[in-house]
Amino acid sequence: MKITDLKVLMVNRFMYVKIYTDEGLTGVGECGAWGFLDAAAAAALTFKSYLIGQDPLLIEHHWQYLYRSFHFRGAAIMGALSAIDIALWDISGKYHHAPIYQLIGGRCRDNIRVYYHVGGGTTEELVASCKKAKELGYTAVGHLSPFLDEPRNQPYFETGAQRINRAVDRVRQIREAVGDDLDLCLELHRRMTPGEAISFAHKVEAHTPFFLEDPIKPDNFDAMALIANRINVPIATGERIHTIQEFEMLLSRRAVSYVRTSVCLCGGITGTKKIAAIAEAHDALIVPHNPLSPVSTVACLHIAAAVENFAIQELPDHDGPAATERFVFDKTENVKALKQSDIVTTLPQVTKGFIALPEGPGLGLDLTEQVEERFPYKPRDIYTRLNSDGSICDQ
């Protein structure tokens, strides 16, 4: 079997790679560098010249060849490699008539716990979103920002005391509204300094958050370790990094308890399995990062099925637009409604906060026909929030 073609499909706010073979088998994968999809598309097309004529089943060899072929790396390149890797695993599963998780070690569990995306521009909206998740049967919620999901065109200012105490009080109100029936995965969006994060963690500890995600900018592993070693709430981080060496440095510093592997950014199925093994050696669990489309979700589910040290899976609402569109951009913008289930042939179903293992060979789903024409690509603008003094606000 040989690879005959590689196509990049730009669909709405998503980028896919589809690989074709001379035996009629195809595979699809998704890119996780959602802010730089055009650059990732160019990288994937550069890799195409090598892949044509190759045996698609030599996945590890192709991974190493593409990763080490030039002297450059970065999110756009790794996003392209991840999409290619997932597509190759999809082909391999179809060739062997088995789900991907069967090819990477077999199932470690019968179903997969997920957490539901919640949000709100006010405290009332945020509490109501969490109550809705509980009513829908979920046992955990995430993307839960105690600083709120305010429009990015609104200048930000709070005193240090207001930022910490208001955020803690929102978590208190949520906990009182849902009781202990929901785990609360707090997304802090890099909003704090190390000192502020330590103070916040001590105050919010009473409300038993599942973890604190990215309390500070995640570039400095030593600073993250400083926080982790001085608080009693677990830290989750990792969605912005994408090599096994970076994850090893993060874990060796005891800077993280829940590793946020971006399957569509850190090397696909192949890269994520390696990172999960490193995390296991450090007694850490993985929580795959997934703000993308159902293709990403299903790729994550195969990892969740086959990796013993898996904790919980992030699940965006696939009945609406991309999570990166709903939460990153201004709420007053004209965000065209998109039902993501129209992009793919099947969609994972949630029952009481759990998803059954993927069925069918390979990923177990594909893109629908003429998906590019039906959902034209919409390039992203550079758009971030500012503080009231004009400086950059992380959100």
Residue 7 phi, psi (nearest 5): -120, 140
CA distance 262 to 239: 5
Do the domains 3-97 and 103-363 sit in the same CATH topology, yes or no?
A: no
Among 143, 189, 242, 318, the active-site one is: 189
CA distance 158 to 388: 9
Q: Long-range contacts made by residues 331-339, C-beta under 8 angstroms, separation at least 24?
A: 331/121, 331/149, 331/151, 332/151, 332/153, 338/12, 338/375
CA distance 130 to 365: 30
Residue 9 phi, psi (nearest 5): -115, 115
From the first residue on, what is the mean pLDDT of each consecutive set of 10 residues in the chain (395 residues)? 98 96 98 96 98 98 96 93 98 98 97 96 96 97 95 93 97 98 97 97 98 96 98 97 96 98 98 98 98 96 98 90 65 60 92 96 97 91 92 93
Contact criterion met (CB below 8 Å) for 341 and 347: yes
Among 117, 143, 242, 289, the active-site one is: 289
Of the options 3.90.79.10, 3.40.640.10, 3.10.690.10, 3.20.20.120, the CATH number for the domain spanning 103-363: 3.20.20.120
Report the phi/psi class of residue 208: left, alpha or beta, with left for phi > 0 and alpha for psi in -120 to 50. Answer: left
Q: Which helix (H) or strand (E) holds 7?
A: strand 3-11
pLDDT of residue 332: 46
Q: Where are the domains of the chain?
A: 3-97, 103-363
Task: Identify whether 97 is a catalytic site residue.
Answer: no
pLDDT of residue 337: 63
Distances (CA, A) of 22 to 54, 61, 159, 260, 367: 11, 20, 63, 37, 20
Contact criterion met (CB below 8 Å) for 266 and 243: yes
SS3 per-residue string spanning 218-273: CCCHHHHHHHHCCCCCCEEECCCCCCHHHHHHHHHCCCCCEECCECCCCCHHHHHH
Q: Which amino acid is it at 129?
A: S
pLDDT of residue 334: 45
Task: Identify whether 289 is a catalytic site residue.
Answer: yes
343: its two tokens: 């992009």
Residue written as token pair 């995965």: 185
CATH architecture of 3-97: 2-Layer Sandwich (3.30)
